[in-house]
Structure 1
Amino acid sequence: MWRSDLASFALITSNEQCVIGKLCIANKGSLIISTVYGSRDVYSRRILWECLGSHSSLELPYVIGGDFNCILSQDDKRGGKKFKFSIAPQGMNSFMNSFDLHDVGVVGPKYTWCNNKSGGARIWERLDRCLLNSKALEALPHAVNQHVARVASDHCPVVLQLNFQNFQHPKIL
């Protein structure tokens, strides 16, 4: 980001659950970027969905990534209590559907969080993910969400690899 001739980032808003900004890449176009650290409280996450949704753009590629502190299905969990499609995953699913957000899939470890307990008490969950709207999928068709091995945290780092060589800003008609 020190090379303003290549790219610039302008902060749009931030709060305790997210940072949202506009990334402009020289000769390539612009994206809305959001990083997330979702509250563990389902009712506080409603504020997150409202904030992210209010900055959603149908004209610009939108990329959201981070720790959502929410799983969407039994497939996102191993160990612990059985998954229920309760108010938390319903809220996140509704948010994703309302704002045309898609999970780009994963390379690397399936789960991004572990409670670090042993034996039958161990729980693995996919709490961290990257979401892209259709414009971002169009502009960045080779985007790859990579989960890197856990080292010093109970979470895996998540890296969204973008092939900017082929970045094509969608044309607005």
Structure 2
Amino acid sequence: MKVMVWNVRGLGSGLAFRTLLNLKQNHNPEVLILLETKVTHVVMESFRVNLGFSGKLVMNYVGHSGGICMLWMGNISVDLLSYTQSHIDVQVVSHGLKTWRLTGFYGHPEATQRHHSWALLWCLSEVVDLPRLCVGDFNEILCNSEKEGGLERSHLLLDNFRKALNYCGLEDLGFLGPQFTWSNRRNDNQLIQEWLDRGVSTFNWNQMFPFSSVKHLDLWPSDHRSLLIEVANTRRNQGNESVRR
């Protein structure tokens, strides 16, 4: 099974749709999670139909930002557990596999408000005791080696993110491909790149799917890379191991 997550930074252009269509055709994700869609439920329904997905869950954007959408194919059984402006949490069954949780997550873009994101993670960890995969744009890094350019991040912010993941029993899945998933796309000495988008999972999810991997795909219209998570309980490609922290 394949799960794709992407902070699209707005779906209001034809280029964004063409990019999504290419991603769908090239990687065939069975679940697609889109962050910062900045479009209405009606527009997302059009995207769902044109991309060939069977089901969808949508959180509309507020003001000029936000919006989360989860799309899935017909061979996936999805039951909604909870949602906010920052997450969609579902129960998943696919290909006769055991039931597990999938959370699409968007960390608050303002550092002073990010503690609300970690409080949400804590709350989600205390309900529905199922193996869990959480993917998305956390808008934070775990250490300053996950950042290149600009000022160093405050150690307090880094510690708060680490503590949140530890409290929830979530472990980073690592990655294949380029390290940094976000860039300010500057071509001068002001270039800043960070590893903001990732997949994290619980120990029992890792046991259920021990050969899963996260791939950082190419940067296209957005300033974020899309991520492809291959959920696998058997080995497919020898030597194709994710880089883990």
TM band (smaller chain) = 0.7 to 0.9
- Work out the CA distance in 1 between the residues paired with 2:115 and 2:144: 22
User: Which SS does the other structure have where 2:155 is aligned?
Assistant: coil
Partner of 2:115: 46
Q: Percent identity?
A: 23
Partner of 1:65: 135
- Work out the CA distance in 1 between the residues paired with 2:191 and 2:98: 44
Note the alpha carbon deviations across 1:42-68, whole angstroms, 9 max, x for none.
343333223232232684211001100
The answer for unaligned runs of 5 or more in structure 2 is 1-52, 55-72, 236-245
2:130 partner letter: L
Matches within 5 A, 1:3-152: 6-25=75-94, 27-56=96-125, 59-86=129-156, 88-152=157-221
TM-score by length of 1: 0.86
Q: Which of structure 1's runs of 4+ aligned residues deviate more than 6 A?
A: none
**156-165 or 31-40, which moves further after superposition?**
156-165
TM-score by length of 2: 0.62
Checking the alignment, whether the CA contact within 8 Å between 1:18 and 1:48 is kept in structure 2 is: no
Following TM superposition, by how much is the alpha carbon of 1:158 offset from its aligned partner in structure 2, in angstroms?
A: 1.0
Checking the alignment, whether the CA contact within 8 Å between 2:82 and 2:90 is kept in structure 1 is: yes
Following TM superposition, by how much is the alpha carbon of 1:7 offset from its aligned partner in structure 2, in angstroms?
A: 2.8
User: Which SS does the other structure have where 2:119 is aligned?
Assistant: helix
